[in-house]
Structure 1
Amino acid sequence: MSIRIVTDSTADMTPEMADALGITIVPLTVFFDEETYQDNIDLDNATFYQKLQASKVLPRTSQPAPALFQEAYTRLIKEGATGILSIHLSSQLSGTYQSACTAWESLPEEVHTVPFEAIDSRSISAGMFMTLKKLAEMNKPETSLEELKTYAEDRFARTRILAVLDTLEFVKRGGRIGGAKALLGNMLSVKPIIALNKEGAVVPVEQPRTRSKAFARTAQLLTENEPIEDIAIAESNTEVGQQLAEALKNTYAGEIPHYKLGAALGTHTGPGTVAITFVTGKK
């Protein structure tokens, strides 16, 4: 069988990475006032954060229209796909998953002879990337769509994200990350830790006073979730990623890959954000 995997740009996977893995990306749109960009296509990580710091207007993101998903699904079927697995960021953060489902349901009936599954990852960024990479590696001709779906759902159910923000200013300005607004009581000298809960919604964790304390606490929280099956750092810039990696060395001895944190989350958390994403081992 030829199962094709589709995702959106919030997985923070570059076009080159996607091509190498055989994954199709449908991009979100990023708006800087009147300027419009396709996320992670004509606006890379470094350029986004440069513009974010310089802009007086908070950028906004928009989910892909169903037509973009329809275009991707139709093309893949014409290319010979015998099944499609479409995986998207948490429905608690965006309507992207629903847009993908609507797109499939609206396609002509003859297209529906091809098996299709959509998954709400309840995650974002490296939390999606890590499992998408695993799926691409296990996607062999003999692998069924059901096997891929079951594997993905199990991994996402065990995926956790802890993020350290450099400032609460972008949470305040954007007001779009739910429970994290509870942190706004104290705006001074705070490097808050936020997390995605099991439903994929943002929740506040703690409010350390310094970045070093926030990183040390993140490392401690990681140990409370052992055993760890997989792990990665998602960074808005190399410096903060290295700082978090150093803090994690005290509690985690394994190698930790680094990925870039893109516009979808960066818009609402700001420059200087860094996150650790991990998959807990099966109990």
Structure 2
Amino acid sequence: MPVAVVTDSTAYLPPELVRAHRITLVPLTVVLDGTEGLEGVNVLPADAARALGGRRVSVSTSRPAPEQFAGTYRRLLDTGADGVVSVHLSAGLSGTVEAARLAAAELGDRVAVVDSRSTGMGLGFPALAAAEAAAGGADLSRVRRAALDAVARTTIFFYVDTLDFLRRGGRINAAEALLGTALSVKPIMHMPDGAIVLLDKVRTATRGLARLVDLAVEAAGDVDVDLAVHHLAAPQRAEQLVAALADRLGDRLHTTYVTEAGAVVAAHAGPGLASVVVYRRPRPAEAA
């Protein structure tokens, strides 16, 4: 068996890709009004959207326990995997990577953990790159390198209706949140170093979506790209983004994935989230 690839539930990969690439997902925990569940298993995006839309404040998330990762790694190794590459949510947002590394330390050099420095398909694209390398027969070192190369090729931007949810979750500072609410602006965020940073401010949701398109096209540069569009309870915004990006990028756009953000990101971004993830595909010479 080739190297196995593990990621976590915040990758928001389309289920058909998870199955086709034999990727193992480890879910994060979400607590809604005191009821604990697993993201993507028994806590779905609609559950989080309803909770947040009702302004319930008791929405929290937690990383998987190291024992959960260790059990996953052992199962994959015991069933014939040569090794495991485990790609996860940014260490700047969660302790998930730390938990994975603690588990990997129990298994020596048969498990390599990669910090995607992102979330959503900013994590999903590196996991896919690792899985494709593994399917091609790459060893542990080369599968890990494929994931890291994809991290460097991936950029995420997202729009939120309010900074309040990010402030409550401690993902941005109070001064940035106050700035956004005081001026009634709509923030555009990115993750240049694995942490959420305010990039731009616009006055309306329409301008916010247009700015996301401009930023994604700029990030694409002159190479071919794959895109992912995420939303939370905002399918029409996702449709608008997909149409505008297809028009702007033309033949350079290969594949677009559209998924609803899960409960973990929802808890910190809130309903109305719209996000674009740009994966710059290797040029033919680089791929060779």
Q: TM-score of the superposition, structure 2-length normalised?
A: 0.87
* Deviation of the 1:183 alpha carbon: 4.4
Q: Which amino acid aligns with 1:251?
A: R
8 Å CA contact retained: 2:202, 2:208: yes
2:232 is matched with: 236
Equivalent residue in structure 2 for 1:248, among 235, 245, 248: 245
Measure the CA separation in 1 of the matches of 2:172 and 2:166.
9
The verdict on how the C-alpha distance between 1:279 and 1:7 changes in structure 2, with shifts beyond 3 A counting, is same
1:4 is matched with: 4
Query: Where do 1:8-23 residues align within 5 Å?
Result: 8-13=8-13, 17-23=17-23
8 Å CA contact retained: 1:64, 1:96: yes
1:220 is matched with: 214
1:155 is matched with: 150
Measure the CA separation in 2 of the matches of 1:248 and 1:123.
21
> Residue deviations 1:187-246, cap 9 Å, x none?
15422100011x211100111001111111222222322134322111213122112223
The verdict on how the C-alpha distance between 1:169 and 1:58 changes in structure 2, with shifts beyond 3 A counting, is farther
Runs of 5+ in structure 2 lacking a partner?
A: 284-288
The verdict on how the C-alpha distance between 1:16 and 1:68 changes in structure 2, with shifts beyond 3 A counting, is farther
8 Å CA contact retained: 1:66, 1:102: yes
8 Å CA contact retained: 1:9, 1:39: yes
Measure the CA separation in 2 of the matches of 1:274 and 1:268.
13
Query: Where do 1:1-283 residues align within 5 Å?
Result: 1-13=1-13, 17-105=17-105, 107=106, 111-112=107-108, 115-140=110-135, 142-174=137-169, 176-178=170-172, 182-187=176-181, 189-197=184-192, 199-225=193-219, 226-228=221-223, 229-237=225-233, 238-253=235-250, 254=253, 256-280=256-280
Q: Which amino acid aligns with 1:212?
A: T
Measure the CA separation in 2 of the matches of 1:215 and 1:259.
17
The verdict on how the C-alpha distance between 1:247 and 1:181 changes in structure 2, with shifts beyond 3 A counting, is farther
Runs of 5+ in structure 1 lacking a partner?
A: none
SS at match of 2:276: strand
Q: Which amino acid aligns with 1:144?
A: D
Measure the CA separation in 2 of the matches of 1:145 and 1:172.
39
8 Å CA contact retained: 1:179, 1:203: no
CA RMSD of aligned residues (A): 2.2
Measure the CA separation in 2 of the matches of 1:92 and 1:165.
19
Q: Which amino acid aligns with 2:19?
A: D
* Deviation of the 1:115 alpha carbon: 2.0
> Residue deviations 1:122-145, cap 9 Å, x none?
111111112322332342263211
Q: Size of the alignment, in residue pairs?
A: 276
Q: TM-score of the superposition, structure 1-length normalised?
A: 0.89
> Residue deviations 1:147-196, cap 9 Å, x none?
2111110110121111011222323433x213685243141542210001
Fraction of identical pairs, as percent: 33
Q: Which amino acid aligns with 2:230?
A: A
Measure the CA separation in 1 of the matches of 2:269 and 2:10.
14
SS at match of 2:112: strand
Q: Where in structure 1 do 4 or more consecutive aligned residues deviate above 4 Å?
A: 14-17
8 Å CA contact retained: 1:6, 1:26: yes
8 Å CA contact retained: 2:158, 2:274: yes
The verdict on how the C-alpha distance between 1:227 and 1:261 changes in structure 2, with shifts beyond 3 A counting, is farther
* Deviation of the 1:281 alpha carbon: 5.4
* Deviation of the 1:21 alpha carbon: 2.4
